[in-house]
């Protein structure tokens, strides 16, 4: 059993028969009354986010999780199709379960697929990815790296981010996947 004082961001717990991933938690000790833990949880089945409050010391069943390196093959409409690099077995994951991180993944990229109780429930990408700029306005004369301005750019995966004025179409840029911000040229 896992107690509320053992909570960690990213850990999985079972609450009322549902499996949740702990996104954020905060221990609260009011001046009057017992301590409690306020949490933000993501449901593993459909990706829905809920806020729940638990009494301090409450116990939960820990959930067995593992990650497997898999290659993203293609998007079949409602599902993202992955292939296990070792067994060549294909796995389909619904878009709502795969999550927001899929916008940073190109076909044939290798990602970590999160399995909760032997079922694929999510995709984890690295904290920074290198993507090619497919569309952006040209920089104007006088635009320099220290100019301080930015402009929108569409990346090869279709995501639009803000880049410095000196970045042109066809260049490869490094993007922070957690914040969606330009980091540097790759």
- Look up residue 62 and give its two tokens: 């820990």
Helix (H, G, I), strand (E, B) or coil at 53: strand
Domains, the chain, in order of start with CATH, read: 2-62 (2.30.30.30), 65-124 (2.40.50.140), 128-185 (2.40.50.140)
Bridge partners of 119, per DSSP, are 116
Helix (H, G, I), strand (E, B) or coil at 110: strand
pLDDT tens-place string over residues 10-52: 788 888 888 888 888 888 888 888 889 899 988 776 677 889 8
pLDDT tens-place string over residues 90-109: 888 877 777 777 888 888 88
Whether residue 165 has pLDDT greater than 60? yes
Q: Show the CA angle centred on residue 99, arms to residues 93 and 100, nearest 5°.
A: 140
| CA dihedral sign, ordered 151, 152, 155, 160 | positive
- Distance, in Å, from the CA atom of 173 to the CA atom of 131, rounded to the nearest integer, reads 6
pLDDT tens-place string over residues 46-84: 677 889 888 888 888 878 778 888 888 888 878 888 898
Average pLDDT over the chain, rounded to an integer: 82
Say if pTM beats, i.e. exceeds, 0.95: no
With DSSP H G I counted as helix, E B as strand and the rest as coil, what are the percentages for the chain, rounded to 5? 5, 55, 40
Bridge partners of 59, per DSSP, are 3
- Distance, in Å, from the CA atom of 103 to the CA atom of 89, rounded to the nearest integer, reads 23
């Amino acid at each position: 059993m896992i107690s509320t004082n053992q909570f960690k961001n990213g850990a999985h717990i079972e609450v009322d028969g549902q499996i949740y991933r702990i996104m954020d938690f905060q221990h609260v000790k009011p001046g009057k009354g017992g301590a409690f833990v306020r949490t933000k949880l993501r449901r593993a089945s459909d990706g829905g986010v809920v806020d729940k409050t638990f009494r301090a010391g409450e116990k939960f069943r820990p959930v067995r999780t593992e990650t497997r390196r898999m290659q993203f093959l293609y998007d079949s409409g409602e599902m993202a199709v992955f292939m296990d690099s070792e067994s060549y077995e294909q796995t389909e994951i619904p878009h709502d379960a795969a999550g927001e991180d899929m916008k940073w993944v190109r076909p044939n990229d290798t990602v970590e697929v999160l399995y909760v109780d032997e079922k694929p429930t999510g995709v984890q990408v690295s904290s920074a990815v290198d993507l090619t700029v497919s569309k952006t306005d040209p920089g104007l004369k006088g635009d320099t790296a220290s100019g301080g301005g930015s402009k929108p750019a569409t990346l090869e995966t279709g995501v639009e981010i803000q880049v410095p004025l000196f970045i042109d179409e066809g260049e490869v840029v490094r993007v922070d996947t957690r914040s969606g911000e330009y980091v540097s040229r790759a």
